[in-house]
Amino acid sequence: MNIDSISNGIVIDHIKADNGMKLYDLLNLGNLNCSVAIIKNVNSKKMGKKDIIKIDANIPIDLNVIGFVDPDVTVNIIHDGKVVEKKDIGMPEKLVNVIKCKNPRCITSTEQELVHIFKLADAETKTYRCIYCETKANI
C-alpha cells in the first residue's frame, strides 16, 4: 500500500495499533474539510504494529487528548514536505472536556454546563480522577 506524503500538515505517528480510530473520533477529525488518512496496523520494527494519522492541513489539535489515549505518540509538524517540529507527547496532568464523569451523583450530571475536569492520579496505572467527586477514569 502506498500513502502519499503531505506537503503541509500533521502526522500523528507511533499510535498503538487500534488506537487510531479512538484518536480520530476524540479529535473530531471527521468534521475537517481537508484530507485525513488513517493507516491501521502498519508494520513497525519498534512496536510490531502501529497506526498513523495524516492530516493534510495545519490545524490546532488537542495534545491532551492524544496524551490521554496514547502518551507514547509522536506528533510531526510538516511544512513544505519536511518535518519542522517533532513533539513527544506524555500523559497530561489535567483533562478538560475530554472524558465525562460516569458517577450519576457527580455535580457534572446535574449541572450540564459545568466543565468536566480530570486530574492525573496515577501515571503508572494511567488513572485520572474527577476533580468534583474523585471518581476514577482509566484509559
Return the pLDDT at 52: 94
Return the pLDDT at 6: 86
What's the rounded Cα separation, in Å, for the pair 9 and 127? Answer: 32
- Reference 71, options 129, 128, 5; nearest CA is 128
Q: What is the pLDDT of residues 28-60, one digit of tens each?
A: 999 988 889 999 998 888 889 999 999 999 999
Give the predicted TM-score (pTM) of the model: 0.83
Q: What sign has the CA pseudo-torsion 121, 127, 130, 133?
A: negative
For residue 22, pLDDT beyond 80: yes
Name all domains of the chain by residue range, CATH numbers in brackets: 9-88 (3.30.70.140), 94-138 (2.30.30.20)
Return the pLDDT at 1: 59
Is residue 130 within 8 A of residue 106, CB to CB? The reply is yes
Q: What is the pLDDT of residues 82-125, one digit of tens each?
A: 999 999 899 999 999 989 999 999 999 889 889 999 999 998 89
